[in-house]
Structure 1
Amino acid sequence: MDQQRDGDFLNHDERYARTDEYLTILRRVWTETKPFDHEGKYYRVKGAASEVKPLQQPIVPIYFGGASDAALDVAGKHADVYALWGESLAQSEDLVRRVRAQAAKHGRKVEFSISFRPIIAPTEEEAWAKAEHILQTTRGHQVQISHARGAGPQQSEGARRLLADAAKGDRVDERLWTAIARETGGRSNSTSLVGTPEQVADALLKYYDLGITTFLLRGFDPLVDAIEYGRELLPLIREKVAQRDALKSAESERKAA
């Protein structure tokens, strides 16, 4: 329905086919030195060229999301970084595996980013109390959200996956909190990792071990949380990642010896 409000009546898979064609043209504009023509199902261009080329070479890195089969096909072909919502470890591992398999068909490798809304406090008890307060505040806004966005859950595959995690309970994998995802119908970046900074950093490290190397973190109180993350959480994440990388490097050297 959101697409149709904007005048776009292509179905789900056709929209991804159009995206595939668009990114193919975009890559050519960025990389080719002479004007070119393109005659496709969704786009037709004649003499396409740009005097402005990306500073990054060969192209600006393409970040891509979407968890349906159609989306993963396009991600494998075009994505430099595949972006996940904050799912459980099991679901995230499955998605990483599937994206890598699609990329391998095109002789490519893809990096991964994952999004969470961490909730941290000096003690675990305080962190969960903070989460409960956020949930109650969210419930108080639900009528406004329903009128603004339309009632009912999102229909995307990503939303379905978030709700599948939420169906397992409000707490998954010890730190993953799914209550906001359930309450809002699986809308976008709505899952959290809850605990002390140390506990949340350890939880993020488990995703790093899956091959996810970028963490997109934002809070429910953007300014206050950003300051708190910078002081309490990010230094721990960097420290633990550096330690993990050092261990992996030492293990590789041992095996090579």
Structure 2
Amino acid sequence: MSTSAAADERRDRRGTNALFSGNKLKLGLFGPNCDHGCAMTLSSDVPSLTWEYTKQVAEIADRAGFEALVPVARWKAIGDNGFNGRNFETYTWAAGLASVTDHITLVATAHVQASHPAAAAKMVATVDHISGGRVCLNIVNGWFEPEFKMLGSEFLPHDRRYQYTTEWFELVRKFWTEDSEFDFIGEFFRVEGGYSQPKPVQSPLPSIMNAGGSKTGREFIAKYADAGYVLLAGYDLDAARAQVEARANDAAEVGREVDTWTTAYVIQRDTKEEAQAYLQKVFVDEADMSAGDAAAKYLGLNSSAMEPHQWEEFNLHLRAGYGGYPLVGTADDIAEELARLSDIGVAGVSLSFVDFVDGLERFNADVLPKLENGGLRKPYSPHA
């Protein structure tokens, strides 16, 4: 294919990628590629992960106009009960779902030490062509040390991991943008005659996500990401507002704009009391404590940094949704909380449910119309 013909394949990502939609509050799903998703529980209410199930989840979210499917890149189970041990690899998962969806952005979550930049660039470009310009690359350093040991990779100190990640992505970007062969000599990678065709559909680049929370992580987001995740400290919205404003300032200092996203877990019932009772049942009475303890350990979190009641509350949110913001109550309660998150500057929220199918059906029927009536989202009509 000639250079000019190849250029004709490129399209402005603002017209193909739902992450750039005009909705004031964008919605995603978090962790639907893993068994149990984000729910660290032994409850039988959690469906087993199958391809048919994850495809059904994607199709429901796509038809409702959700903007993103955000998978968790997992290689080993966490804890003694197999939490997340059964999962779909994220690049091939995204490619498969691209063929059965029309609107939603397929996120490929990349553990940078698990794939060479040439392979990552090629896989993302391939999914971008399958989907018509709907792929996003979620770049993660990894935190679960047993996975590094399994993959034979060195578990680098935190800031050193970001140095590796920066070089990894700069090399990915060269594979996406350089038309001629190139050489690259860095600290971690050496490439002779680098080449990759076809280029991604999206111009200038596929969208990028990252969830760094440290100073180094925030700097990476400001410089490279289009969407940066923030964990809302203490679930106090005044403190959260300051975090969101700080992220905006980080990006402005380097002449960029970055959307701030967060994650949230949803327990929706007809009354607040029913929702709280279900939270107690699934994440306290039937909790997978082993998974929660292991996740806290490898995330470097411990009770010495918090008061006992704060530590227990944090652990509850960790078990219920990987530390996501709690959306627990009626449809009105959930819509109001999402409006508050939007008010402090959050541009997008990736949701998780105990059962994604049941949770999405409740949410789409009762919460989405309230968000539309409140001006946070426009009604979505699937393509004919």
When normalised by structure 2's length, the TM-score is: 0.53
- 3-state DSSP of counterpart to 2:299: coil
1:223 equivalent to 2:357? Answer: yes
Q: 1:242 to 1:75 in 2, by over 3 A?
A: closer
1:39 equivalent to 2:185? Answer: yes
1:106 equivalent to 2:247? Answer: no
Task: Kindly indicate whether structure 1 or structure 2 has the higher relative contact order, using CA contacts under 8 Å at least 6 residues apart.
Answer: 2
**Number of the residue aligned with 1:2:** 146
Q: 1:179 to 1:12 in 2, by over 3 A?
A: closer
Displacement of 1:164 in angstroms is 6.0
Q: 1:42 to 1:94 in 2, by over 3 A?
A: farther
C-alpha contact (below 8 Å) 1:21/1:40 kept by paired residues: yes
C-alpha contact (below 8 Å) 1:37/1:45 kept by paired residues: yes
**Partner AA of 2:186 in structure 1:** G
**Number of the residue aligned with 2:275:** 127
Displacement of 1:239 in angstroms is 2.5
Displacement of 1:100 in angstroms is 2.1
C-alpha contact (below 8 Å) 1:118/1:194 kept by paired residues: yes
**Number of the residue aligned with 1:53:** 199
Displacement of 1:56 in angstroms is 1.5
C-alpha contact (below 8 Å) 2:268/2:331 kept by paired residues: yes
Displacement of 1:46 in angstroms is 2.0
Displacement of 1:208 in angstroms is 0.8
Displacement of 1:152 in angstroms is 5.2
Displacement of 1:63 in angstroms is 0.8
- 3-state DSSP of counterpart to 2:260: strand
Q: Distance in 1 between matches of 2:168 and 2:215?
A: 18
Q: 1:231 to 1:203 in 2, by over 3 A?
A: same
Question: Alpha-carbon deviations, 1:81-116, whole Å to 9, x = none?
Answer: 012345522343233223223222321110122111
**Partner AA of 1:49 in structure 2:** Y
1:26 equivalent to 2:172? Answer: yes
Displacement of 1:189 in angstroms is 4.3
Q: 1:81 aligns with which of 207, 210, 227?
A: 227
1:155 equivalent to 2:319? Answer: no
When normalised by structure 1's length, the TM-score is: 0.76
Q: Distance in 1 between matches of 2:307 and 2:329?
A: 19
Counting only pairs closer than 5 Å after superposition, residues 174-193 of structure 1 correspond to structure 2 as 178=314, 180-181=316-317, 184=319, 188-193=322-327
Q: Distance in 1 between matches of 2:246 and 2:308?
A: 22
**Partner AA of 2:210 in structure 1:** F
Q: 1:28 to 1:109 in 2, by over 3 A?
A: same
Question: Alpha-carbon deviations, 1:107-140, whole Å to 9, x = none?
Answer: 111012211111111122222222222223443x
- 3-state DSSP of counterpart to 1:20: helix
- 3-state DSSP of counterpart to 1:119: strand
C-alpha contact (below 8 Å) 2:317/2:325 kept by paired residues: yes
Displacement of 1:67 in angstroms is 0.5
- Aligned pair count reads 228
Question: Alpha-carbon deviations, 1:201-220, whole Å to 9, x = none?
Answer: 11111111222121211211
Q: Distance in 2 between matches of 1:165 and 1:69?
A: 25
Displacement of 1:229 in angstroms is 1.2
Structure 1: which 5+ runs fail to align? 171-176, 245-257
Q: Distance in 1 between matches of 2:308 and 2:209?
A: 26
* Further displaced range: 111-120 or 83-92: 83-92
Q: Distance in 2 between matches of 1:71 and 1:108?
A: 16
* Further displaced range: 56-65 or 215-224: 215-224
- 3-state DSSP of counterpart to 1:122: coil
Q: Distance in 2 between matches of 1:10 and 1:69?
A: 17
Q: Distance in 2 between matches of 1:227 and 1:203?
A: 19
C-alpha RMSD over aligned residues:
3.0
Displacement of 1:50 in angstroms is 1.6
Structure 2: which 5+ runs fail to align? 1-144, 379-384
**Number of the residue aligned with 1:199:** 333
**Partner AA of 2:206 in structure 1:** V
**Number of the residue aligned with 1:116:** 264
Q: Distance in 1 between matches of 2:158 and 2:317?
A: 23
